[in-house]
């Protein structure tokens, strides 16, 4: 893949002329047939058909920013089952997703390894496409914890947006792992 930084100038919403709003837009361009994939675990198998349909729609609509310029499109996804071997003597978990802990889960991160990231962005809705969502700090993928974590979904609707609620998904997608303790002796 290749990452690029594209300079942009924002247009004034009043005059439709370039203003002083100069910024950079980051893009990631993947090679054809890069083999991107994602994992999912449906707790309710009765919604599997709708889940597949949703991802076929996303392939047509695109994901990420600049969808109105044709960015974020991908080929129709293929779905298959995969078996993952997990340790039977696990002593912790590793997150495969972003994770937004509950307050109780935050109180129990003493022996954990993680990085934080701020997530923000714009609303993508028929009622509005240029309003910023509230930002939220989350644990990055690859965080390691000694106890199981569930996470939460949080409302990130801006105060001035009244059409409907906007949510950030922060439930943890985890796999068991074995924590190794190294003696400093």
| Residue 151 domain flag | yes
pLDDT of residue 147: 92
Question: How many domains are there within the chain?
Answer: 2
Over 80: is that where the pLDDT of 68 sits? Answer: no
Instruction: Please tell me whether residues 132 and 173 are part of one structural domain.
Output: yes
Residue 117: beta bridge partners?
138
| Residue 83 domain flag | no
pLDDT of residue 18: 75
pLDDT band at 153 (very low <50, low <70, confident <90, very high): very high
pLDDT of residue 142: 97
Instruction: Please tell me whether residues 41 and 104 are part of one structural domain.
Output: no
Q: Which of 6-20, 23-37, 89-103 has the lowest mean pLDDT?
A: 6-20
Domain that holds residue 31: 2-69
Over 90: is that where the pLDDT of 165 sits? Answer: yes
- Mean pLDDT throughout 163-183? 89
| Residue 76 domain flag | no
| Residue 31 domain flag | yes
Cα–Cα–Cα angle for 160, 140, 156, rounded to 5 degrees: 10
Work out the mean pLDDT of the chain and round it to a whole number: 87
Q: Residue 54 and residue 77: Cα distance in Å, rounded?
A: 11
Tens-place pLDDT, residues 128-138: 767 889 999 99
pLDDT band at 126 (very low <50, low <70, confident <90, very high): confident
State what percent of residues in the chain have pLDDT above 70. 95
| Residue 165 domain flag | yes
Over 90: is that where the pLDDT of 53 sits? Answer: yes
Over 70: is that where the pLDDT of 152 sits? Answer: yes
Q: What is the pTM of this model?
A: 0.75
Please provide the DSSP assignment of 109-147 as one string.
-TT-B--EEEE--B--BTTBSS-BPPPEEEEPTT-EESS
Instruction: Please tell me whether residues 123 and 156 are part of one structural domain.
Output: yes
Residue 144: beta bridge partners?
94, 113
Instruction: Please tell me whether residues 100 and 173 are part of one structural domain.
Output: yes
Query: Which residue, of 69, 104, 121, is where some domain finishes?
Result: 69
């Amino acid at each position: 893949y290749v990452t690029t930084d594209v300079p942009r100038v924002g247009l004034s919403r009043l005059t439709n002329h370039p203003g002083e709003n100069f910024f950079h837009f980051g893009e990631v361009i993947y090679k054809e047939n890069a083999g991107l994939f994602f994992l999912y675990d449906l707790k309710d198998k009765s919604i599997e058909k709708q889940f597949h349909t949703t991802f076929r729609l996303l392939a047509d609509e695109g994901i990420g920013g600049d969808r109105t310029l044709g960015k974020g499109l991908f080929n129709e996804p293929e779905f298959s089952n995969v078996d993952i071997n997990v340790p039977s003597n696990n002593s912790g978990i590793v997150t495969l997703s972003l994770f937004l802990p509950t307050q109780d889960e935050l109180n129990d991160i003493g022996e954990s390894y993680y990085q934080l990231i701020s997530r923000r962005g714009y609303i993508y809705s028929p009622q509005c496409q240029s309003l910023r969502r509230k930002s939220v700090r989350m644990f990055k993928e690859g965080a390691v914890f000694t106890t199981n974590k569930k996470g939460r979904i949080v409302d990130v609707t801006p105060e001035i947006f009244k059409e409907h609620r906007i949510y950030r998904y922060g439930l943890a997608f985890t796999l068991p792992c074995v924590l190794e303790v190294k003696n400093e002796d």
